[in-house]
Structure 1
């Protein structure tokens, strides 16, 4: 019995030890390292812990893929993967079109058209991460395909694989296809200007000072021997300034002689076209050499800000910016789709051979610094109208993109899914330091708090709209405003502050909430914490635009009997005089046309109200998801409305889509309502309320105006293209529309001519 008891004790101990040991080992074994996202200058790339498994494993963060090499277009190149903190290539052994398809989709293209072997785009450096890759073609990531495992390869960089992707972006793909600067990250990561005048230290932006580079844990100076204005030009561009100015060296010499300087760089030789100081030829101090600059001093730089940043700089003479180039569709200042003006009509630029030099010319002529990113594949949404330029090849010193060599294009060369865009370097203004959002469930949402003097507090939500929310999201660098929240009771209220701002009214274009109108003293009827203003921001937004040509081609007049208009009267689709008509006898004269509304943005357009609050209209047998979706107005020459109509969004759905885009929304059976990116909603001319009641309108010349999403109920990346206008001639029997165009498609001069147009003198359509 004793022996059996001992055996049981041993067995129990063994079981306990067996259970305990793996637990301990599990706690001490390093976990699989997630792939880290690489950061660009000025931040160093973190090095993750090593992975214990040699084979590719699905990782917690998405694998980063990029195209690089030379020469190449934006949709082709050597494939590089970011793993264990560094970029590496793929060997071409067993490579196939199936592999290329997977990689192209990861890069945001719809598919691959080919692949290359034997380092066609040049030999890579560093690791060869994958070899003998064998994908089926349906995988979401190349790391899910069969291979020899991470870093296990018998190849050299002479065998680096490349891909050629179909030049068509996946609609709504968020990550940018960025063409990066070819600079050595280890040379110079960050620069700054250190002002020496006490008053200059308090004013932003800092435009003049001693040039310093980030070195180890501190800052070091650059010796100014051989320093040229070209070097200054590059530095100013990096810091967000379009131009440079001469500096009073004698003033700084007296100051710098009394300072202890550490010179990290002894010689800089920029050509003036570089987009970063690290791309210039540099000569660094030797490690053991004394940090002196015999016969010279620390380099001093003075820059000229663009018009947007000049208000606080005290400069009297304002620099001019281009009036035939603009940026559209960006969430932040200094970013957007590049549009150029030709023959009084705005058009876009195709992204073939689009690079940082060309992008920088655009940024500088608009009053910003050099380009931070050159974006391809309609990254800032698709434009409308003509495409004027292709294969733009700026050298970097041109005053305007119009001075650069480029090709005129045909419709076969480019489509709007290839529209080029930019992100420009901006001067540091510190605007994000005076605002914050708190209490939200994620970093992109929360109750708005602003700093007034030394006090932080909430904002009154009375009159709080999408326009104000847009400014908040822009100021915080969080993209577009998805929702303007007027009741924030469902967010964390544990640290609610007092209300410090009310009566906020913005145009939507301001860089800071403090630039908007607001009450001098706080006055808010609903001052409780739950009525504080809030926002939900997003990286992407929809963008609706009307097909102007479709309206012009489908317009006609119908005299419709009153007995067929009971439902329309119930939905308030007739003019006020219809109430005094002798129902059901007589008729109403209706101006009818079709409306085709496209979503050219990067997110689906969805009604603000959830389906639980949609209103059922029994007469037409459908739900209304928005009170007002479209305004239809007929106006005389001085802008007074002579007739109006409106369109409640009884059915927001995908009528049709571009090739390769699937419909997501349909109204049948109480379905989801919305318009998918790359799709359009067609309101045919023969459906109820698709008209303006012109029964009381006299013959004459008018302007037809259609405005989509007029109350800005739903956030969009660009509201300036929501309006469409046409010249209209009505002779009492027939009607003609001409010059139909989107509100921001013409130059200011052409728009003025349009507004003054006296109408046609005959019935011939021009």
Structure 2
């Protein structure tokens, strides 16, 4: 499934940032920043959408939907590191924004700032789900809820797959094909054209207005996340494995990386069979995120995102451990090593 964790950490320009307190959503929560050897919060004095925009961009969580104030996601503890932030919205890191100085503030934790990013507003869950298939759930009014399958069709599924960057929509499922959800049913009678940027922009009856039960929960099957091979020069079927998730390309760690994992990559790229599963950044080190670690593919999956793993972005690696493959489409490389 699209596994979400309440804390997501991104390293940039020496400062770490994370979102805390939203439960299972990794792209909404209380903003915390790591400075001077400790995690601390941000005060909501002047906290607005441009400030939230920088946080969402820094965490690869899409666009900012709301800048939350008054400890909406609960009060933090310890230091309040930043106050009176004045971001333009174009900065690549929160530490690049104007502020009164690290630790200079006149706040208490009842004023802790938070964000809701577009990446937090939809997820796929349920029995048998993968990163790019499952029961559709949306985040609204502080809780996750499902979508009813009345009028649910491929145009609706296209919007979900696009929003999750999971490729093309292959199927729109109904009748709780991925299991019944719990809690609220937030949307019903959706009428998407297929071109909307998010499910919330489609026509519908209004949030919580429905005549459904959870045995009518809607789901999607998307083609998968994008994947590519990089670093082998002019070849197309060998290289460092990179996958596109949450708006950015990232690598795969070589912990447990083996021939069944490589087999899935070669199949997904129509590059024949897997000849070698390469470790230790054989094709050079990537940069940015390391999206997947501890993959456990059987070799029969049609997409790398269908394999078992610890969660998107959950890893204990560095780019010296980037995984690679050599597929049968590039067999001549075996004799050049």
> Which structure has the larger Rg over C-alpha atoms?
1
What's the TM-score once normalised by structure 1's chain length?
A: 0.22
Which structure ranks higher in relative contact order (CA pairs < 8 Å, sequence separation ≥ 6)?
A: 2
What's the TM-score once normalised by structure 2's chain length?
A: 0.45
